[in-house]
Amino acid sequence: MGVEGSAPVRDREAVAVVEGPDAGSLRRALDLSRRDFSRLTGFSERAIAGWESGERPSAQSRQRLLEIQQLQMALAEVMEPASIGPWLRQPNSAFQRLKPLEVIERCSPVCRADGASLPSAQARLLDDDTRRCCG
C-alpha cells in the first residue's frame, strides 16, 4: 500500500535506479575508506559523509554512483566481492604497476577548482558534489 496520494511501489528495482545506490553501502561493499571512495568517484569526502548522514545526492551524482555500482557488479563476476577493494588499492603489473584506483582516477575528467580545463574527450557537467584534483 502506498502513501496517500501516491501509487504503490510495484517494481523496487526501478525505484533503486531512480534513487540510485546508497553511497555508504556501496563504499562499504567495495571496502574503501572515504578517501579512496572519493578518489574512485571524484566526489569530495565531505559530500560522501553528507550522503552517509542522510543528505540526498544530486541526479548527476546518483548517476555516477550507479556507474560505480555497475563497476562493482562487473568486477564481482570475475573476482570475489571481498577482493575488489584490496585489488583496487594494490599495484598491478597489467597497469604498469599503477593501482587500478589510480588508473580510474587518471581516466576521470580533471578540472581546476574554478571548473576550467576539462579534457574535451571527457568533458561533462560537474555539479557541486564533484571534485577533481589536478596533479
Per-domain residue ranges for the chain? Answer: 12-122
d(CA 65, CA 23): 7
Per-residue pLDDT of the chain (135 residues; tens, 9 = 90+): 444 444 444 444 433 444 678 999 999 999 999 999 999 999 999 999 999 999 999 999 999 999 999 999 999 999 999 999 999 999 999 999 999 999 888 876 544 333 433 333 333 433 444 444 433
Contact status, residue 105 vs residue 95, Cβ threshold 8 Å:
no
Global pTM exceeds 0.85:
no
Torsion of CA 40, 23, 53, 108, to 10 degrees: 30
- On the 0-12 / 13-18 / 19+ scale of CB atoms within 10 A, 43 is buried
Under 8 Å between Cβ of 84 and 30: yes
